[in-house]
């Protein structure tokens, strides 16, 4: 089976990025969200990104126009009926994702391959709830999808081998690097990353060091591009609470319990970079100021 038409269900930051990298690789893309505002914003954001690439002479104006001509933004799930592959990129909520795949099961051809961009939820749970069986696979892209090379490819005991191969080949066609992982909450990256981020928050709360020193220590000492608290702000503190809660429920390991200091920030509306405030003040995104917790 050859993938020609790709559907994306859910147009937040991840869905928008997945739609863009699919366009860049020559696919026809049907991008769907029930919120017309999100559809419009996604289309505008993708075009803005392509215009930036034109200014940098990475693509020609003609290539930008040709790529945009392969994008269709819609609010009805029925628009996905002829897609060869549909990637769900909705909020990290099992009930929401279940409803999406139940709809896709009714709408799409029995040859359509389904993928979830979930970062923490079990693919097996989605299969059990939706009856999608061997044609549902996990494709966990990383934020932002237009930059990050890694995609976790998640298989279950029911995943069809041919579906797995097609999904993996699709990832490679996007100039991404697939890594195979079994189905367990958090998969590889988030299962290992979450305790690291939470340990940094707990160290801050315990007065081990301030925000700046914790981040500098880990960035300079371990060769990371940024420290754990700044990375947490970029991911979104509300997202980390949601993901940590899912991991804690799965493994019953206190390392995954969201730290109180993060919960308090989120309660105040400080969710990180996207809200302008978290462990840093992001009023000037190029020069974030570490928050004092003394």
Banded model confidence at residue 133, pLDDT cuts 50, 70, 90 = confident
Catalytic residue among 119, 122, 232, 277: 119
pLDDT at residue 131 tops 90: no
Cβ-Cβ contacts under 8 Å for 220 (sequence gap 6 or more): none
| Topology at the third CATH level for domain 5-182 | Rossmann fold (3.40.50)
Whether this model's pTM surpasses 0.95: no
- Is residue 173 flagged as an active site residue? no
- Count of helices and strands (H, E) across the chain: 11, 10
CA dist list (Å): 219 to 213, 227, 229, 231, 233: 10, 5, 11, 11, 15
The pLDDT of residue 265 is 98
Q: Dihedral of CA 32/33/36/38: which sign?
A: negative
Banded model confidence at residue 217, pLDDT cuts 50, 70, 90 = very high
How large is the C-alpha radius of gyration of the chain? 20
Structural domain spans, the chain? 5-182, 190-289
In the predicted model, what is the mean pLDDT of the chain? 96
Catalytic residue among 67, 140, 232, 277: 140
Phi–psi pair at 129, nearest 5 degrees: -85, -20
User: Which tens digit of pLDDT belongs to each residue from 221-235?
Assistant: 999 999 999 999 999
Cβ-Cβ contacts under 8 Å for 37 (sequence gap 6 or more): none
- Is residue 190 flagged as an active site residue? yes
- Is residue 152 flagged as an active site residue? yes
Q: Vertex 52, ends 51 and 57: CA angle to 5°?
A: 95
Cβ atoms of 240 and 194 closer than 8 Å = yes
Catalytic residue among 117, 122, 190, 232: 190
Catalytic residue among 67, 152, 232, 277: 152
User: Which tens digit of pLDDT belongs to each residue from 79-117?
Assistant: 999 999 999 999 999 999 999 999 999 999 999 999 999
Q: Dihedral of CA 91/95/98/103: which sign?
A: negative
Cβ atoms of 203 and 214 closer than 8 Å = yes
Beta bridge partners of 272: 277
Question: Which listed CATH number (3.50.50.60, 3.30.70.20, 3.40.50.1820, 1.10.1040.50) goes with 190-289?
Answer: 1.10.1040.50
103-135 burial, b at 16+ Cβ within 10 Å, e below that, comes to ebbebbeeebbbbbbbbbbbbbbbbeebebebb
């Amino acid at each position: 089976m050859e993938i020609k038409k790709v559907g994306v269900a859910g147009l937040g930051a991840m869905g928008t990025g997945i739609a863009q990298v699919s366009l860049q690789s020559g696919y026809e893309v049907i991008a769907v969200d029930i919120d017309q505002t999100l559809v419009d914003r996604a289309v505008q954001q993708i075009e803005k990104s392509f215009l930036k690439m034109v200014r940098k002479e990475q693509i020609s104006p003609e290539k930008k126009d040709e790529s945009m001509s392969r994008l269709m933004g819609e609010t009805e799930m029925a628009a996905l009926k002829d897609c060869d592959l549909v990637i769900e990129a909705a909020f990290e909520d099992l009930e929401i994702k279940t409803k999406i795949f139940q709809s896709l099961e009714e709408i799409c051809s029995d040859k359509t391959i389904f993928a979830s961009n979930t970062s923490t939820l079990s693919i097996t749970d989605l299969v059990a709830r939706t009856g999608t069986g061997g044609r549902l696979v996990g494709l966990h892209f990383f934020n932002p999808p237009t930059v990050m090379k890694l995609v976790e490819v998640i298989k279950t005991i029911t995943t069809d081998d041919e579906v797995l191969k097609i999904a993996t080949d699709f990832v490679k066609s996007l100039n991404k690097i697939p890594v195979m992982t079994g189905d367990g909450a958090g998969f590889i990256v988030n299962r290992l990353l979450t305790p690291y981020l939470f340990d940094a928050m707990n160290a801050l709360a315990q007065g081990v060091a301030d925000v700046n020193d914790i981040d500098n220590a880990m960035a300079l000492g371990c060769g990371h591009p940024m420290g754990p608290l700044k990375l947490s702000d970029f991911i979104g503190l509300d997202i980390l609470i949601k993901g940590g809660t899912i991991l804690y429920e799965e493994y019953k390991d206190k390392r995954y319990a969201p730290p109180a200091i993060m919960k308090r920030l989120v309660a105040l509306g400080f969710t990180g970079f996207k809200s302008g405030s978290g462990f840093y003040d992001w009023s000037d995104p190029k020069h974030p100021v570490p928050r004092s917790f003394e």
